[in-house]
Chains A and B, each alone.
Chain A
Amino acid sequence: MSTMGIIFANIYDSSLGELTNKRTMASLPYGGRYRQIDFSLSNMTNAGIRHIGVITKYNYQSLMNHIGSGQEWDLELEEGGLEFLTPYAADHNASYRGKLDALRSAMSFLTYSKEEYVVLVDSGVLCAIDFNELIEHHIASGADVTVCVKAGIANGVKQLDMAVRTDKKNAVTDVAVDYCADESYLASMGIFVMRRDRLIREVTEAVAHNRFRFERDFVMPGFTDGSLKLNAYKFQGVALFNESTAEFFHNNLALLDRNIREGLFRRPGRTIYTKVRNEIPSYYGDSSEIDDCMVADGCVLEGTAIHSILFRGVKLGKNAVVKDSIIMSDAVIGEGAELENVILDKDVVVGAGKKLCGTYEHPLILKRGEIV
């Protein structure tokens, strides 16, 4: 049951505004020290899937820098390890019109691989999942494609890339795409399993017939006309959908809940790996007051932080107060500054005494390197 992996690094960039202006969804910093792709990469290597293609179309400098040779995930192999699949300079299509189109560009990667199955993963949903269990479930089902789904996400308001309904026997009864599905639906986590040879065939056929989108132009019509047997794997663990700025904000702060933390990290055999930065341990000064925060290494804390996520190397000045905020790496918060419902991207400097305030649904975002 040999399996390879494909990670789509940036399909939904436009929905996160400034945060994904100059970086892929996959390289979006999360949770104090991770980038979103760490979850898919780690889930794959934890399942022994080491032949992985990362498909990315633009803004991938920081992603490549982060992943490097793939060493932290044990992927630095001469052959059969990690490969970046960037748009070919020769291809007249510099921009992918959808995942099928992207896969078409990666065709030689697919055809020259030897694995039987492929796990395809988007970069917007964070979870710690056992891919071996998923693959076994897929094989046992006899289906052509298995989609990994999560209950409790569809709420009639959130637009889902794909949503399914299942019957009592867990058979898929309905597939909807780009739909604000109601609670009776299960949300696709953007994780699919299928046979590699079938994927190659489908991609070739689809693109030749002007069809580019994986869910809309392949899975849904296949299900509808019966040519595709679709199986749903109901994932029971913590799955965070970071597909909008508000979700990204809420899902970071959600880490302050023990259940979420424990659902994502430190699951036996499912460690989430990331690039190491060799910072010194964080220093908590005498005047610091840290209440219900996640704090990464390298911080120097003299002020107050409440219910916030502090990434690596953050400097929090005396009498500064940070509440319900996400402060990314190396940001500097001056003395007496006040921040609430704010996302500071990396290297932002907030001057002494400055006040910045967003709301829970509309956090104020300062882009990388901004000086206030």
Chain B
Amino acid sequence: MNFLKKHCVAMLLAGGQGSRLLVLTENTAKPAVPFGGKYRIIDFPLSNCVNSGIDTVGILTQYQPLELNEYIGNGQPWRLNRSHGGVQVLPPYAKSKKSEWYKGTANAIYQNIPFIERYDPDYVLILSGDHIYKMDYAAMLRFAEQKNADCTIAVRTVPLAEASRFGIMNTNEDGSIYEFEEKPKHPKSTNASMGIYIFKWDILRQFLIADEEDPSSDNDFGKNVIPALLSSGHKLFAYKFEGYWKDVGTISSLWEANMELLGTDPAFNLDSEKGGRIYARNYAMPSSFIAKSSANSDSLIGEGSGIYGAVKHCVISTGCTVEEGAVVEDSVIMPNVVIESGAIIRHAIIGEDCHIRRGAVIGGSFAEGEEKKIAVVGKAKTIEANQTIAPGEVC
């Protein structure tokens, strides 16, 4: 087999359980969780790669990868079905000497050194499959080259009051990082790491091998590899990212990110004119039928749906049915959900393939300023007629 050299190879970490998404990731890897009416979370980093000219992407899977693997297939929806490079799903595999699951983010890359080596890259881009954003990685790569950085870490500015929740990079005037503090009690700056790294491959390789040989290491980029690079005098730079970015690792952040797609001038504009097109695997469905009895406002509605009821400030995914007399507000309805007449759904996330029977009441309303507790119904569940799911309840 012949492999062409690639300037930069992307490695997308998609193996985590995403346990804070509870029932939504019971049987599904987090990157395969539906988002925005017709996407899955992984569409964002994948589309960013192809829009940035990166055509070689290894996707590291581990937890419940079936749906994710099927979804990715040969990478064709993201134009990543290439003869040289393209997308490659990388699960852990048995070796002759030592077989193990991925035990940490760095270990996952370490175990795939042979994959990366095939392309003899100058740089490796490390991404995670948990974030919603549009980013031009090529611009970050140019920055890395210009600074001759051994490692470049994308950072975003967070409010000082929240900085203690993040990995904070303290930088000099020129953007070089002199200190890295994980969730500091007294943050010295507001540059929060986005978990997006560009490494010079030969440097990364060296540190991955060293890290693997350290039995006390957690084999994690943030905890182990980055600090090791920093303390050994290597050149690390912070690349400032200005756009919208959301870690959708919790129920409330997933719900918020969906809501932030709504409005005539949304906080996150999916429009291809603004930062590139997000590609997804599309299923052959006819256009949606919007009935006279429906009343839709401030909502996104995917194709293949039949809307006969009232939908307000929602993201309704593809293939859904909202029957006449049903009321859906401030909610995220994932693909292929049926909501029967008389059901009332407010401030909820309804998982794929659910069936909500007549008169069921899910979630509730909140006063201005009150904390919104999002009710969640997991994938393929049936909520019986007139059953009640309380605000914030997860089932």
Contacts and interface: CB of A to CB of B under 8 A. Distances in A.
**A, B: real partners:** yes
A281 B300 contact: yes
A274 interface: yes
B94 to A, nearest CB: 33
Contacts of A34: 286
A12 interface: no
Interface stretch (A81-89, A99-107, A151-159, A282-290): A282-290
Contact of B286 (A72, A266, A292): A266
Contacts of B36: 280-281
A367 B38 CA distance: 31
Interface stretch (A15-23, A240-248, A294-302): A294-302
A274 B264 CA distance: 29
A291 B278 CA distance: 30
Interface in B259-281: 262, 264, 270-272, 277-280
B18 interface: no
A288 B311 CA distance: 12
B395 interface: no
A256 interface: yes
B278 A278 contact: yes
B314 to A, nearest CB: 10
Given A272-B284, A284-B296, A294 B289 contact: yes
A286 B290 contact: no
B277 to A, nearest CB: 6
A97 interface: no
A290 B294 contact: yes
B302 A273 contact: no
Contacts of A281: 36-38, 300-303, 315-318
B64 interface: no
B76 interface: yes
Given A284-B296, A284-B301, A297-B302, A278 B279 contact: yes
A205 B302 CA distance: 53
B296 A288 contact: yes
A295 B288 contact: yes
A273 B77 CA distance: 15
A290 to B, nearest CB: 4
A256 B289 contact: yes
Most chain B beta-carbon contacts within 10 A, residue among A266, A276, A282:
A282
Interface in B293-329: 294, 296-303, 311, 315-318
Interface string A176-197: 0000000000000000000000
Nearest to A71: B76
Contacts of A297: 38, 287, 302-303
A281 B315 CA distance: 9
Contacts of A11: none
Contacts of A286: 297-298
A264 B289 CA distance: 14
Main secondary structure of the interface of B (DSSP, over half): loop
A58 interface: no
B290 A290 contact: yes
B297 A288 contact: yes
Contacts of B291: 291-292
Given A276-B282, A281-B37, A281-B38, A33 B298 contact: no
Interface string A264-276: 1110000111101
A1 to B, nearest CB: 26
A295 B290 contact: yes
- How big is the B interface, by class? 35 or more
B292 interface: yes
Contact of A33 (B289, B296, B301, B303): B303
B303 A296 contact: yes
A5 interface: no
Interface string B175-193: 0000000000000000000
Nearest to B317: A281
Interface in A1-53: 31-34
A293 interface: yes
B299 A284 contact: yes
B287 A295 contact: yes
Nearest to A32: B287
A34 B264 CA distance: 28
Contact of A285 (B272, B289, B292, B298): B298
Q: In this complex, which of B287, B296, B298 has the most chain A Cβ atoms within 10 angstroms of its Cβ?
A: B287
A280 B277 CA distance: 9
A282 B38 CA distance: 11
B289 A261 contact: yes
A335 to B, nearest CB: 13
A284 B298 contact: yes
Interface centre among B270, B298, B303 (most CB of A within 10 A): B303
B179 to A, nearest CB: 41
Contacts of A290: 290, 294, 296
A271 B302 contact: no
Interface in A200-242: none
Given A285-B297, A292-B289, 11 more contacts: A278-B272, A278-B280, A283-B299, A283-B300, A284-B299, A284-B301, A284-B311, A286-B297, A288-B297, A291-B291, A294-B287
17 contacts: A31-B287, A71-B76, A255-B286, A280-B37, A280-B272, A280-B278, A281-B36, A281-B37, A281-B301, A282-B301, A284-B300, A291-B291, A294-B286, A294-B287, A302-B264, A306-B292, A311-B287
Q: What are the nearest 10 A-B pairs in CB distance? A: A32-B287, A281-B37, A291-B292, A284-B296, A265-B286, A296-B287, A280-B270, A276-B282, A281-B300, A290-B290
